[in-house]
Amino acid sequence: MEMSTRIALIGGGNMATSLIGGLIAAGTKPASIIVAEPDTDRCTQLSRQFDVATTKDNLATLLHDVVVLSVKPQLMQTVCTQLASSTHVLNPLYVSIAAGIRSADIARWLGDDVAVVRCMPNTPALIQCSATALYANKTVTAMQKQLADEILHAVGITTWVEDEDLLDVVTALSGSGPAYFFLLMEAMQKAAAKLGLDKETAARLTLQTALGAARMADESELDVEQLRARVTSKGGTTAAAIASFEHDDFHNNVSKALQAAYNRSRELAEELGKEL
């Protein structure tokens, strides 16, 4: 990232905090970052934690090269409409991390021919371990696309999609995905405790098992199906557990869950894209 790149964030919540921390850890100077946030206490906290500038004036962000829209989806239209009168003068790149708001709606609220990158990070961004998919509208230049990638890469891995509708799939997979793993870990801990392990031991073993499995999958040349087969000895304990999962239609249940999340993501896009 160019050292002279100026980055502004509208909204100073958890995801914005994660981005600021990741950017600074990656070498971005705090002096090149500003956060627009209405909460005075939050502004003070961000200034103390990262030594970045803060403001309550959203329009002050338009003096920067990139404006990260990190407000709640329900506030996006109001914020964009406020910025619309000035955005054409300076033409920053807008990066939206708000779930369910389509780039066409953001561009419509800001004004035509606005460069918008829409992305779907997930909550592990809080520990710089996010999985983020990004989509760029036709106004985004190659340089701006690279800049957006570098910003989100500061909190994890990034990948691009050419079809914005695929972000609804990403939302169902990785956006909501951490909760699926938390649910499985929760169930494993409770089941182990029911079988006699104390809660602390069950929790420690569950978490380390999940971490180890994820690292193996990430670092191995084998895909997850092959890895699963390798640790499932015929007639063994793992095979018994897998057979129980499959008897209860495990794969279909996962497919139905992702379909439900996908459908809801599309519904929210329609609802949030309506004019106030």
Mean pLDDT, consecutive 10-residue stretches, the chain (276 aa), reads 82 94 92 96 96 95 93 93 78 92 94 92 93 97 96 96 96 96 98 97 98 97 97 96 97 98 93 81
Cα 50 from Cα 46, distance rounded (Å): 6
Number of neighbours of residue 188 by Cβ within 10 angstroms? 17
- The residues pairing with 157 across neighbouring beta strands, listed in sequence order, are 131
pLDDT tens digit sequence for 6-31 = 999 999 999 999 999 999 998 999 99
**Residue 130: closest CA among 114, 108, 96, 153:** 153
pLDDT tens digit sequence for 85-104 = 776 667 899 999 998 899 99
The DSSP result for the chain, as a single string, is --TT--EEEE--SHHHHHHHHHHHHTT--GGGEEEE-S-HHHHHHHHHHH--EEES-GGGGGGSSEEEE-S-GGGHHHHHHHHHHHHHHH-PEEEE--TT--HHHHHHHH-TT--EEEEE--GGGGGT-EEEEEEE-TT--HHHHHHHHHHHHTTEEEEE-SSTTHHHHHIIIIISHHHHHHHHHHHHHHHHHHTT--HHHHHHHHHHHHHHHHHHHHH-SS-HHHHHHHT--TTSHHHHHHHHHHHTTHHHHHHHHHHHHHHHHHHHHHHHTS--
pLDDT of residue 273: 86
Only one residue has tokens 């035509």, namely 112
Considering the four listed CATH numbers 2.40.50.180, 1.10.3730.10, 1.10.238.10, 1.10.30.50, the one that applies to the domain covering 177-268 is 1.10.3730.10
Domain ranges of the chain: 7-168, 177-268
pTM of this prediction?
0.90
pLDDT of residue 4: 74
Specify the fold of 7-168. Rossmann fold (3.40.50)
pLDDT of residue 275: 72
Tokens representing residue 18 in the block:
């994660």
Tokens representing residue 160 in the block:
């691009």
Percentage of residues of the chain with pLDDT beyond 70: 97
